[in-house]
A = this chain, B = another copy of it.
Amino acid sequence: MLVYWLDILGTIVFAVSGVLLAGKLRMDPFGVLVLGVVTAVGGGTIRDMALDAGPVFWVKDPTDLVVAMVTCMITIILVRQPRRLPKWILPVLDAVGLAVFVGIGVNKAFASGAGPLVAVCMGVMTGVGGGIIRDVLAREIPMILRTEVYATACIIGGMVHVTAYSTFGMPLQQAMMLGMMITLGIRLAAIRWHLKLPTFTLEN
């Protein structure tokens, strides 16, 4: 039940993030709708294609699709020509969606019988997939390629989630909440204080 609402939450924030990014691109409302929906359901779609456990989630149950569409429409109507949006809005929304979807991705991977390593990968893929598609379509530099501990946050959050459950026997739901808190905390801290890891740079 908690997972259900978290899933709705992640869908909403990613849909909003897609719409806000689209606002930079002078698209018409239906184009904005497509970009928002793709951002919201993209990561889970790639995950389900890879797990190959039947049709992707929004074909089995279109709830998330409806939520994403309605969110996009409401956002388009409400946010139309607002006062200048603060710069932190898009990264913070993205951080919430990232944390939630990493956790859900890990759980779905466990539910289909995957081991710990594959579960972390599925979590990361679910979390970062939608945002990557959003950024590639919008020709932005994908967030995962930037330095502010983006991949780091979801890999660590996913590993905590998986370890707490597989190694320490924590109930799956609590392990998920713990992992989400860690992913979210790292990302928010990184956004607030511009934390960076040292970059890996070659002169080639």
Contact = CB atoms under 8 A, between A and B. Distances in A.
Contacts of A137: 132, 136, 142, 144-145
One complex includes copies of this chain to the number of 3
A200 B66 contact: no
A1 interface: no
A84 B203 CA distance: 6
A2 interface: no
A145 B204 contact: no
Nearest to A57: B50
Nearest to A49: B49
A74 interface: no
Interface of A: 19-20, 22-35, 37, 45, 48-56, 58-59, 62, 65-66, 76, 79-82, 84-85, 87, 89-90, 112, 114-115, 117-118, 121, 124, 128, 132, 136-139, 141-142, 144-147, 149-152, 155, 196-204
